[in-house]
Chains A and B, each alone.
Chain A
Amino acid sequence: MIAPTPITLTVNGETVAAQVEPRIHLTDFLRENLGLTGTHIGCEHGVCGACTVRLDGEIVRGCLVLAVQADGKSVETIEGLSDSGALDELQAAFRDRNALQCGYCTPAMLLTAHELLARNPTPDRATIREHLSGNYCRCTGYQAIIDAVEIAARARAGAKS
């Protein structure tokens, strides 16, 4: 029997202390221990991207980071980012463009697109496609998602000018 390891981290701005088995990955910890089920699990080997979360401000695969590795770090999930309003333009554009059907990939798509727009406020379609290349969507065929990110980028640029 392997003893749980104590960890303390920040999740969506709140301090969380827990005991976790080393083998538990961050997404399972968020979902099972904290009830934050907006982060989804698809393949659990780094291919589908559905488990994307932010770790110290950068997107990562939640299934490829151990919960014990998040000790002392800051984690943000779709719940926190959505509540903060950081995703408002993207969420509105996804709704307007029908950029989701089942919604399974959507939280991760939003986090990934959000990172892109933070780095590059006016990406072209090829850049959007490339940045989202690690996120699978089995419903939309991607075109509407690319449209939505492009529209959100324009909405943000317009709001600033």
Chain B
Amino acid sequence: MKAAAFNYARAASVDEAVQMLVRGGGGAKLLAGGQSLLPALNLRLMSLDLLVDITGIAALRGIRVEGGTLKIGAMTRHADLLTSPEIAAHAPLLAKAIAHVAHPAIRNRGTIGGNLAHADPASELPACMLALGATLVIQGPSGQRRVQAADFFLGLYQTALAPDEILIAIELPALASGERAFFHEYARRMGDYAIVGLAAQGKPAGDRIDALRLVYFGVGERAGSCPAAARILQQRHSPAILAEAQAALAADLQPQNDHQASAAMRLHLARTLLARCVNELLGRAEASA
């Protein structure tokens, strides 16, 4: 299908883009990579009065390390993240995840900021932001504010962004000494939406995993942290502890039934992923789940 008519304007700066959003009221929307927005427009799932193109704002692109913090401009593309030595060194979880985001032609356009602002519950990146404890930097008519990832994703395609605000940057704490990342997802085909996926990071200490953050995606209306299961895994590893953590996922997650999988299948796959995660983080050979 073809998109309905809309006006189009290029913003030269973040300030100008914010002004355009304010003037546009609720009828204006930002165009970042467009890899989710343009399908929605083509399918006429949405319509708008004004598309504000922010792809030309150079200040929104780039990756740099400052102290122990990785700063990523919101318009940095997936393809750039995938090949960035800084991301590989300081945010290996994100490097692993990006390889699963859609396909090469889409990664050449799609941006991290556009992805996070879209807040698709099946997407890899919101889960990574939660697992990494990201801070999202937002600019609006009254200046900048900073929001923790845990307070940013509110539900299905819902975020803390107001209609006249722009996500301008993402700040991630660089991987600390001793921390390890795990990422895996089950999808029908490489690049498809995950049926279930897990982004995790923690500090293996002998038989335990400290400071473990487990975040599932593709399960429920937004990426879901699993504090109960993570707490259990702080105890010394044993098959009984793993089974207890796997059982606790039933309380942490609200899996849905849909055309891809039943809720029971999703919970089963989530438990399988947890076993893989624990074995990998503890450096053990894959045991049977």
A65 lies within 8 A of B104 (CB): no
* Shortest distance from the beta carbon of A43 to any chain B beta carbon, whole Å: 9
The answer on a CB contact under 8 Å between B8 and A63 is: no
Instruction: Answer yes or no: B254 CB below 8 A from chain A CBs.
Output: no
The interface residues of chain B lying within 8 Å CB-to-CB of A23 are 2-6, 41
Selected contact of A45 from candidates B4, B43, B191, CB within 8 Å: B43
Is B289 in the interface zone, CB < 8 Å from A? no
> Quick check: is A64 within 8 A (CB to CB) of the other chain?
yes
| Residue B57 lies at the interface, judged by CB distance under 8 Å to chain A | no
Which residues of the other chain, B, contact A52 by a CB distance below 8 angstroms? Answer: 105
Is B179 an interface residue when CB atoms closer than 8 A count as contact? Answer: no
Interface flag for B251 (CB, 8 Å): no
Are A63 and B7 interface neighbours, CB within 8 A?
no
8 Å CB interface, A2-49 against B: 2, 5, 21-23, 25, 28, 44-46, 49
Q: Which residues of the partner chain B approach A66 to less than 8 Å between Cβ atoms?
A: 8, 31, 34, 38, 51
Q: What number of B residues sit within 8 Å (CB to CB) of A?
A: 30
Judge whether B55 is part of the interface by a CB distance below 8 angstroms.
yes
Q: B84 CB to closest chain A CB, in angstroms?
A: 16
Closest chain-A Cβ to B53's Cβ sits at a distance in Å of 7
Interface string of A130-144 (1 = CB under 8 A from B): 110111000000000
CB distance from A76 to the nearest CB of B (A): 13
> Which residue of B is nearest A59, CB measured?
B105
Residues on A with beta carbons closer than 8 Å to the beta carbon of B79: 58
In the complex, how many residue pairs between chain A and chain B have their CB atoms under 8 Å apart? 89
User: Contact between B8 and A22 (Cβ–Cβ < 8 Å)?
Assistant: yes
A69 adjacent to B55 (CB under 8 Å):
yes
B7 close to A61 (CB less than 8 A):
no
Interface residues as binary, A146-158 with B (CB distance below 8 Å gives 1, 0 otherwise): 0000000000000
CA distance A65 to B41 in the complex (A): 12
Assuming A49-B103, A49-B105, A134-B106, is B7 touching A64 (CB within 8 A)?
Answer: no
Contact status of A2 and B42, CB under 8 A, knowing A52-B105, A59-B104: no
Partner of B104, one of A28, A64, A129, A131: A131
Tell me the minimal C-beta distance from A81 to chain B in angstroms: 15
Mark interface residues in A110-136 (1 if CB within 8 Å of B CB, else 0): 001001100000000000011101110
The interface residues of chain A lying within 8 Å CB-to-CB of B104 are 59, 112, 115-116, 131, 134
Query: Closest CB-CB distance, B48 to chain A, in whole Å?
Result: 10
A60/B7 in contact, CB under 8 A: no
B190 touches A133 (CB 8 A): yes
Mark each residue of chain A from 46 to 77: 1 if its CB lies under 8 Å from any CB of chain B, else 0.
10010010010011110111101100000000
Beta-carbon contact of A61 and B5 below 8 Å? no
Contacting B51 at CB < 8 Å: which of A22, A130, A135? A22
> In whole Å, how far is B2's beta carbon from the nearest beta carbon of chain A?
7
How many whole Å from A138's CB to the nearest CB in chain B? 14
Whether A134 contacts B6 in the complex (CB less than 8 A), given A46-B35, A63-B42, comes out as no
CB within 8 A of B191: which of A60, A115, A134?
A: A134
**Interface: B268 (CB within 8 A):** no
B257 at the interface (CB under 8 A from A): no
Shortest distance from the beta carbon of B64 to any chain A beta carbon, whole Å: 23
- B141–chain A nearest beta-carbon distance, Å: 25
Q: Are A44 and B2 neighbours in the complex by a CB distance under 8 Å? A: yes
Q: Give A133 to B101 CA distance when docked, in angstroms.
A: 12
Complex interface bits, B21-42 against A, C-beta within 8 A gives 1, otherwise 0: 0000000000100110011011
Give chain B's interface residues, CB within 8 Å of chain A: 1-8, 31, 34-35, 38-39, 41-43, 51, 53, 55, 79, 102-106, 108-109, 189-191
Could you jot down 18 A-B contacts, CB within 8 Å?
A: A2-B7, A5-B8, A22-B8, A23-B41, A45-B39, A52-B105, A59-B108, A61-B109, A63-B38, A64-B34, A66-B34, A69-B55, A112-B104, A133-B103, A134-B102, A134-B105, A134-B106, A134-B191
